[in-house]
Amino acid sequence: MAEYTKAQLTELIIGKLHRNFGRDVEDATPNHMFKACALVLRDIMSGHQMNTSNQVWEGQERQVHYLSLEFLMGRSLEKNAYNLGILDTLKEALEGLGFSASDLFEIEPDAGLGNGGLGRLAACYLDSMTTLEIPATGYSICYELGIFKQKIVDGKQVEQADNWLGLGDAWLIPKMDETEEVRFGGKIVDHWDDKGHNHPEHVGYTTVLAIPRDMEIAGYKTNHTNVLRLWDAKSPVPVDMSLYSRGEYLKAVEQQAMAEVIAKVLYPDDNHYEGKSLRLKQQYFFVSATVQSIVRKHRAQYGTLRNFHQKHVIQINDTHPTLVIPELMRILLDVEGYSWDEAWNIVTHTVAYTNHTVLAEALERWPQGLIETLLPRIWQILKEIAARYQRQLEQHFGGDMNKVSKMAIIWNGEVRMANLCICACYAVNGVSALHSEILKKDVFHDAYTMHPEQFKNVTNGIDHRRWLSQINPKLDALVRECTGGDDYLIHPDAILGLEKYKNDKAVLERMEAIKKENKRRFASYLARESGVVLNTDAIFDVQVKRLHEYKRQLLNVLHIVHLYNQLRDNPNMEFTPQTFLFGAKAAPGYHVAKRIIQLINSLSAQINADPICKDKLQVVFLENYRVSLAEKLMPASELSEQISTAGKEASGTGNMKFMMNGALTIGTLDGANVEMHQKLGDENIFLFGLTADQVTSLKASGYHPQDYYHQNGDLKRVIDQISAGFADKESYADLMDRLLRSAGGSPADDYMLLADFDSYRQAHCRALETYADRQRWNQMSLINVARSGIFAADRSIRDYARDIWHVPTRE
Ligand code: 26W
């Protein structure tokens, strides 16, 4: 690792201010200063990156290409300085120049190029792949607008555009000379040669230019540096005023607009598919540019594509980049002139697929007409893949058309992306033990019986350097002291060393003091930002994640209303003070999710204004939940709400962030909670609710939520109250009706809140009893941190490297 002194960094920063902004330190604004720092770090990383690329080239190393429509990177200045090992020096240099380092870090906009779990996972994995010295590249779109900013106005979500590039582009290096051309529309003309081979020609298409804007990714304690390649879209046709013939001028303007809209905005849908043609354009644009770029470099190095699958693995993050399959086929067939079988052999040894959801409404099924007109050559190839697969299926299943139709790639005028992945990918993995089992037993059962060895599990993980060490410096210091140094940062299992201290009173008190201090810090931040004053003597009970019915924020609400009722019935009862914090963005078109946000805000207004609740019960909705807010909140959290209907949450990764920061989990046996429970035992987690199997059998035998409503007086009272509404006179009968009555094809209480209500209430009671025994609580908290090592992304990436990618990793 190169070392920099304070004086050297200072000089580099001043140099950037002079050369890039024509400023002296005295008249540099914080924005100038931020950019200057970013440019200095970028230079250091670029130098490292060139060495890495040379090594990979010379060693002819096998490379990983991680394709994802989302990378939720968050902020980079502090992170990059941390990974480069110059964070403290940079802070000193900044202070020396008269700037507050922490204020400067705060002005950086989040790179919000993702919705939630899937996008943040991709960001954590880039960090680990780089730290583990894997030659890897991430690919995505350089969205001009990231995930929307959320404002709460009159209790309701309002979306605002997130224009992050003003400052955020300090990290991006445009590479004009590596521009690729992507073709849309037009038609295919066949040309048969005298050997009877067809040479399809694509005519009448529209070209969009894909321009790389590369973001360097530094690894921790290594000079290995990878790249996140973000494609920007531009039209090749300049709008030329000299095209005075009106038709041509308008055509040029139209074409420019059509091209540039592709990279305009991230689709804000999470776990919900909508067959929008612009989204399909985004997918093909990014996939085509990526494959062409990989192929171009490979050809330059090896002069042939015959060894392509030996040198590259393409990992696709959910089905969103599935068009890599036909796109790579297209290049091998049409550009290289390979036979179908040769091309198919290469493709099916290159691409691997990760599934991130079992929700039926999230499955991508593109109308064939859309693909046919937008991507005529890709459509031909898809038809051929689908036909061959279907013949294979018919043979394998002896004409059992029920199975064949379920597994078909093209059916009823739709192209099913997951089935295409199953057909063409050499590995398919789920993201937690339970989720991977559900894929095999249920979602992809028939495919599993055909090729059981194709199916794998890689349990998700998080970047523990960011999500523990960087955001919770006091806990980091304690872990270092107790485990004998900072080895845990590259060997996350070493956190287990903390467990030796589970009966050490002094250490347990330190745990408590750290949490208290973090709560105060968060509270003062929130008071500054929003004026909301948190009761730091109350337990911080937190549910932050995208808003979705299956995640059951509404169950949390039902329980809070029940607590409120208890207090109102008996204002002098013994009551452990509780502060409930929510943070959640709703997809702009997801009406029910938006109503739930409004309900939380109505409830919050009601409870926070009621003198009975003073210093006892508080409900706060945190506006605009995002990576940089999570970084402040996790260290301050005490109870982590992971309460999805069992079988629905593929893994969860927020659950891991809480655990690593010493929060205890109240949760169902869903996603990675199952592995958490396995590590922790019943005694260190608050489990409740139906298991995934119980959910399935209760649904099969007939679930009647009305029975719970009529049999549980507390629950009935809560539901009736919410229906009627609170002081703001907003009725939520619409939401409560969904729990009691089926409507429009969706069953009553599809996510089984009522079935789990009582068990959830009891789990809360157990949590509060434990909280009253503070030493026991602190011990559980310590055990949670100590056993969180398996949830480090480094462990996940080692699993991918060993079981799927077949690439070596640093020791
Ligand atoms: C096409 C619309 C759309 C957009 C995003 C469909 C599906 C998605 C994602 C796959 C949803 C998602 O983020 N899934 C989450 O992935 C995380 C990382 O594996 C898991 O931890 C979460 O449980 C899962 O919900």
**pLDDT at res. 360:** 96
pLDDT in tens, 472-489: 999 999 999 999 999 999
Q: Is 350 a catalytic residue?
A: no
Residue 444 CA, distance from chain mean position: 23
Q: How far is residue 499's CA from residue 490's CA, in Å, rounded to a whole number?
A: 18
Which residue's alpha carbon is nearest to atom 5 within ligand 1? 270
In this structure, what are the phi and psi dihedrals at residue 632, rounded to the nearest 5 degrees? Answer: -85, -30
Q: Is 272 in the pocket of ligand 1 (CB under 6 A)?
A: yes
Q: Is 670 in the pocket of ligand 1 (CB under 6 A)?
A: no
Q: What average pLDDT score do residues 316-339 get?
A: 98
pLDDT in tens, 690-729: 999 999 999 999 999 999 999 999 999 999 999 999 999 9
Q: Is 546 a catalytic residue?
A: yes
Say which range, 241-245, 576-580, 680-684, has the weakest mean pLDDT: 241-245
Q: Is 653 a catalytic residue?
A: yes
**pLDDT at res. 715:** 98
Given 546, 562, 648, 764, the catalytic residue: 546
pLDDT in tens, 744-791: 999 999 999 999 999 999 999 999 999 999 999 999 999 999 999 999
Q: Is 796 in the pocket of ligand 1 (CB under 6 A)?
A: no
Which residue's alpha carbon is nearest to atom 22 within ligand 1? 652
Q: Is 356 a catalytic residue?
A: yes
DSSP 185: S
Of ligand 1's atoms, which has the minimum distance to the CA of residue 671? 23
Q: What average pLDDT score do residues 110-116 get?
A: 98
Q: What average pLDDT score do residues 584-590 get?
A: 98
In this structure, what token pair is assigned to residue 50? 């060139």
**pLDDT at res. 775:** 98
In this structure, what token pair is assigned to residue 660? 């690593």
> CB atoms < 10 A from the CB of 524, how many?
13
466 within 8 A of 661, measured Cβ to Cβ: no
**pLDDT at res. 181:** 98
CATH fold match for the domains 60-72+110-425 and 529-785: yes
**pLDDT at res. 421:** 99
Q: How far is residue 35's CA from residue 29's CA, in Å, rounded to a whole number?
A: 10
Say which range, 233-237, 324-328, 603-607, 669-673, has the weakest mean pLDDT: 233-237
126 within 8 A of 66, measured Cβ to Cβ: yes
Q: How far is residue 152's CA from residue 585's CA, in Å, rounded to a whole number?
A: 10
Which residue's alpha carbon is nearest to atom 4 within ligand 1? 270
| H or E stretch covering 130 | helix 117-131
pLDDT in tens, 45-61: 999 999 999 999 999 99
Q: Is 461 in the pocket of ligand 1 (CB under 6 A)?
A: no
pLDDT in tens, 336-388: 999 999 999 999 999 999 999 999 999 999 999 999 999 999 999 999 999 99
Rg (CA), the chain: 27
Q: What average pLDDT score do residues 728-743 get?
A: 98
**pLDDT at res. 244:** 61
SS (H, E, C) 347-408: HCCCEEEECCCCCHHHCCEEEHHHHHHHCHHHHHHHHHHHHHHHHHHHHHCCCCHHHHHHHC
Please state the pTM of the whole predicted model.
0.98
Domain 60-72+110-425 has CATH 1.20.58.1610: no
Q: Using 50, 70 and 90 to split pLDDT, how confident is the model at 253?
A: confident
Residue 251 has pLDDT above 90, yes or no: no
Say which range, 165-169, 346-350, 457-461, has the weakest mean pLDDT: 165-169
Q: What average pLDDT score do residues 96-125 get?
A: 98
334 within 8 A of 200, measured Cβ to Cβ: yes
**pLDDT at res. 432:** 99
**Bridging pattern class, strands 172-174 and 156-160:** unpaired
Contacts 24+ apart (CB under 8 A), 274-278: 274/589, 275/365, 275/366, 275/367, 275/370, 277/370, 277/374
**pLDDT at res. 243:** 62
| Domains in the chain: boundaries | 1-59+76-109, 60-72+110-425, 529-785
Q: Quote the percentage of the chain above a pLDDT of 70.
A: 99
**pLDDT at res. 242:** 66
**pLDDT at res. 1:** 66
**pLDDT at res. 407:** 98
Contacts 24+ apart (CB under 8 A), 299-303: 301/57, 301/60, 302/60
In this structure, what are the phi and psi dihedrals at residue 200, rounded to the nearest 5 degrees? Answer: -65, 140
CATH class of 529-785: alpha beta
pLDDT in tens, 397-441: 998 999 999 999 999 999 999 999 999 999 999 999 999 999 999
Task: State in Å: Cα 181 to ligand 1 middle.
Answer: 30
Q: Which residues of 138-165 are buried (b: 16+ CB within 10 A; e: fewer)?
A: bbbbbbbbbbbbbebeebebeeeebebb
